Each structure stands twice: as C-alpha cells, then as structure tokens.
Amino acid sequence: MRLASGGVQHETNTFSTTPTTLADFIRYSQLGSHLNGGNAIIERYAGTGSIHGGYIDGAQAAGIELLPLLTATACPSGIIAQQAFDTMLGWFLERLEKVLPVDGVLLDLHGAMVTESYQDAEGEFIDAVRNLVGQDVPIVVTLDLHANITERMADLADVIIGYDTYPHVDMNERGREAIELLARIVRNEVVPIQAFRKLPLITMPPMQCTLREPMQSLMQQVHQLEAGPDILTATVAMGFPFADIHQAGVSVLVTANGDQELANTKADELAGMVWNLREDLQPQLSKIEDVMEFVNQHPGEGLTIFADGSDNPGGGAPCDGTVALQAMIDANFKGGLVGTLFDSETARQAHAAGVGNTIQVRLGGKTDDRHGSPVQGEALVKTLCDGVFTYRGPMFQGVEDSLGRTATLVVGGVEVVVSSERRQCLDKEMLRVTGVKLSEYRLLVLKSAVHFRADFRDVASRIFDADTPGIHRPDFSAYNYKQLRRPIYPLDQDVSWS
C-alpha cells in the first residue's frame, strides 16, 4: 500500500496586523528543511508528538509505504499572502502528481487557515487534491481542535479526524488513527460515512481546555461514543474565535461504518451535548494587580502562573506585550519572570553587550498598539544563549525548535526572557535552555492561553487566566466581527439549536 501525505498548517488570526508570507513558512522550516519533503520530514518527525510523527510511526508499524511530500508551518499570525498559499499548494500538487498512482492521501492541515482570497483555505486545499486524485482515492484529513470546519471540508474529505486534546498532546495518536483508518478504507474493510453539524456557537480558549471541566467530561463522552458499534471516529472541533470568517466556531463530526442514519443520530446527540455546555464555556479573567496581591498574601506557596493568553503567539498574537511586565515593574514586585517575550532587536543588543553588562532598552510593545507600550529603562544582561531546544513535555515531544538568539534580562527588578523568534512558551525546556531555574520565582507570566498546562502544571501551585488587552484576548466584547455568521452564542443571546 502506498499513501501520500502532507499539508500546510496555519492558524490565522485575522485581527493581527502582521501578514503571513512565504518567508515565514521558509524560516520556520529551516531547522529540518521539511519543506523539501521525503526524508527531511521523516528525520524531523518520526517518533515525535506530531501528526506526521503518527503517520510515520503508523506506516512503519503496518508496513505501509508512506510518501511525505510537504509539511509547511509558520507561527500563527495574520492573513496569509495569496501568493504564499498558491505557491505551497502548487508544491504539494506537483509532488503528488509525480508519485501517482497512490492508494490514499493523508492531509495534515490545521483548519483555521485564512488567505487573502480564501476564508476556507483548507477547503480549497482539499478540493485541489480531490481534483487531482479523483473521487476513488480516499482522503483522510487531520485537523486541530481549533479548526473552523466547513461543510465543504467535510464534503470533500472521506474522513476528518480532529484532535481530542487541548493542550494538543494527542497529535501522534491522531496521526496514527488517521493512517490506520485510511489503510482499512483502502483494504475495503470499512465504508466511512460522515455526519457534520455546525453549531451557532463560538467559544474562547481558556475554557476549551480539555484538562478542565466541562471539556474533560465532554471528551470522555466522545470516547464512549467512538467505542460504540459501527462508529469509526468522532470529533468535536471547538473552533478558532480569532478568525473573523463566516464559519468560525464549534462543529461536530461523527463517522459511521456504512450507516448514514447512525452517523446523523450520533452527530445530533453530540452536538446537543456541546450546546448544553455553552454557559459553562465562558472564562473568568484576573487582573495582574489582583494576582500580584494574591502572591504577596500567599508567601512560600510555590509558583503562580499568569496565563497571558491575550498575547499568545500560538494564536497569532505578537508575544511582545508589556502590560503585565510594566505593572510588575511599577509595583516593585520581586520574584517575577516573563517567559519568552519576542523582541529580536533587544536580544541582539544584549548579545552585543555581553553577560553582566547593562543596556538601555525599549523592550517589547513594538508590533502594534494593542499590547502595551515599550518598557524603557536600564536592563542587566543575566544570561545569553542560541535558543535552540527540543520539546521534552507532552506536546511536540522530541521535535527540535529554536527561539533564536535569546537573552535573560533584569528590568526594574523583573526578569524577562527575550527571544528573537516568536514562539509560545509551552515547554519548560524553552526556559531551561536560557538558564532559568523556575524554583527561584513566585510569579511567572506566560504568553500562552492553555498549551503551557501540559508541561508546567506540575510546577504551578495556582494558574490565573489573564485580564490583559490583545488580539488573543478571550473576551468577545473586545472584537468587532464583520464576517461571522449571526446569530451566534454568546454574541447573540436569542439563539436556539435543535
């Protein structure tokens, strides 16, 4: 059996002022040059906590010939230049054409990608692949839990499989599920029939977390459903609310073996379960001033984490926001650390000065005017490093990545890890490589909404979801949606679903 695989992955924040270009995808791939396909992809991802890791491991276990053609990823940011998308899709189609005929295709996509011309870029991608391979070659697509799935994607793919976890710690498992199911389809052991339901519901990251209720219990019900007779797979995609597109928000997919009625019934049941949880999916946010006071009132109780999701680069935010940092400096707070703030200019300045020296900084707040102003003043260079690290936590485990040249600075009594690449701090290794010892701090500001919980929860005595401004702020009143379909809960209160 010969299966082709690949895709372009991007989570597009349409509220971002930073457009995403081909250069962003190329820069992201330079560690593994996996844009080239073939062995570069296998070397980078085999055995790792990634979707392609799961495809590759599954292929090896089952003796399947896997032909990885492309994995193009860029850090989440603004709308993708049309030419960049067209170029990468062109690469994939060209390579796919060269290896035809294949028995099936695995597409590793995100599901919330927006380009200048396409609100539903994944729909376009799957459509182009379908046109090339024809109706008889099965296509199985894996999507992120944050996918804004459209009817078109569901119609074009034989099966869509979404992640069941947020933090996304099941990527390898979902990749394996996808290749194993595709192999069964190719061998005519099963006939997948999907039912798709789009709910009039949009939700925010903090409460989409599957380590917390109500999502934890919901996912247990999804797994129970999947264990039922003739159900091949089920997905609840919570959607990406920072893409202002018509189809943003929650959707449900159930795939049955040859039985449309069963798929329909179970999809309705699952959609109903999610709909009933809608009021419990609204986050509670805390101000940095209140969290500093909490830490001061609870001395010796370990590390408190302020999850500054409003500035989460993993959802397209700048990662150079200064609101929490400035507040800690103003309050003369001791024992505070800001984990990876993106400012390549300041990192370069620190590397030029050297460890132990003092520099005058204009730190952060440079991308736009929605995440605080630059912090001005003297900074002591505490440590320097090249920023190369390997994910050791449960997410992306084994994948090598880089923060670029990185410096730890002391500014106004607060320590800040300053990176040259925009990366969500979701793995303790990203701080450890800079020389940071977490036991030395009382309050850690992480520019991450939820993903950090997978690796940091064992060192966090308390976690607060931040009430800070930004383009990833989990608060619908902060956005002026223009494309989103209405009515939709909770933007509109008079919404019904049956």
Binding site for Zn ion (CB under 5 A): 144, 146
**What minimum distance in Å lies between the beta carbon of 210 and Zn ion?**
11
Name 417's Cβ contacts closer than 8 Å, sequence gap at least 6.
337, 338, 339, 340, 341, 406, 407, 408, 425, 431, 434, 436
From the CB of residue 40, how many other CB atoms can be counted at a distance below 10 Å? 16
Partnered with residue 65 across adjacent β-strands are 2
CA 122 from chain center: how many Å? 16
Are residues 229 and 259 in contact, defined by beta-carbon separation less than 8 angstroms? Answer: no
Cα(371)–Cα(376) distance, integer angstroms: 15
Comparing CB distances to Zn ion, the nearer of 146 and 197 is 146
**What minimum distance in Å lies between the beta carbon of 146 and Zn ion?**
4
Comparing CB distances to Zn ion, the nearer of 91 and 163 is 163
Comparing CB distances to Zn ion, the nearer of 24 and 144 is 144
Q: What is the DSSP string of 85-115?
A: HHHHHHHHHHHHHHH-S-SEEEEE--SB--B
Comparing CB distances to Zn ion, the nearer of 428 and 472 is 472
Comparing CB distances to Zn ion, the nearer of 144 and 343 is 144
Place of tokens 């997919």: 253
Comparing CB distances to Zn ion, the nearer of 143 and 381 is 143
Per DSSP bridges, beta strands 159-162 and 2-9 are: unpaired
**What minimum distance in Å lies between the beta carbon of 252 and Zn ion?**
17
Residue 386: helix, strand or coil by DSSP?
coil
Comparing CB distances to Zn ion, the nearer of 162 and 192 is 162
Are residues 63 and 5 in contact, defined by beta-carbon separation less than 8 angstroms? Answer: no
**What minimum distance in Å lies between the beta carbon of 19 and Zn ion?**
21
**What minimum distance in Å lies between the beta carbon of 168 and Zn ion?**
6
Q: Which of 187, 189, 181 is nearest to 158 (CA)?
A: 181
Place of tokens 């599920």: 177
Comparing CB distances to Zn ion, the nearer of 254 and 450 is 450
Are residues 318 and 75 in contact, defined by beta-carbon separation less than 8 angstroms? Answer: no
Comparing CB distances to Zn ion, the nearer of 108 and 144 is 144
Q: Which of 86, 249, 167 is nearest to 426 (CA)?
A: 167
Cα(88)–Cα(230) distance, integer angstroms: 37
Comparing CB distances to Zn ion, the nearer of 57 and 144 is 144
Are residues 54 and 176 in contact, defined by beta-carbon separation less than 8 angstroms? Answer: yes
**What minimum distance in Å lies between the beta carbon of 110 and Zn ion?**
7
H-state helical runs in 280-322: 288-297
Residue nearest to Zn ion (CB): 146
Residue 263: helix, strand or coil by DSSP?
helix
**What minimum distance in Å lies between the beta carbon of 10 and Zn ion?**
11
**What minimum distance in Å lies between the beta carbon of 12 and Zn ion?**
12
**What minimum distance in Å lies between the beta carbon of 96 and Zn ion?**
26
Comparing CB distances to Zn ion, the nearer of 52 and 146 is 146
**What minimum distance in Å lies between the beta carbon of 438 and Zn ion?**
25
**What minimum distance in Å lies between the beta carbon of 315 and Zn ion?**
8
Q: What is the DSSP string of 179-240?
A: HHHHHHHHTTS--EEEEEEE-SB---HHHH-TTSTTHHHHHHHHHHHHTSTTEEEEEEE---
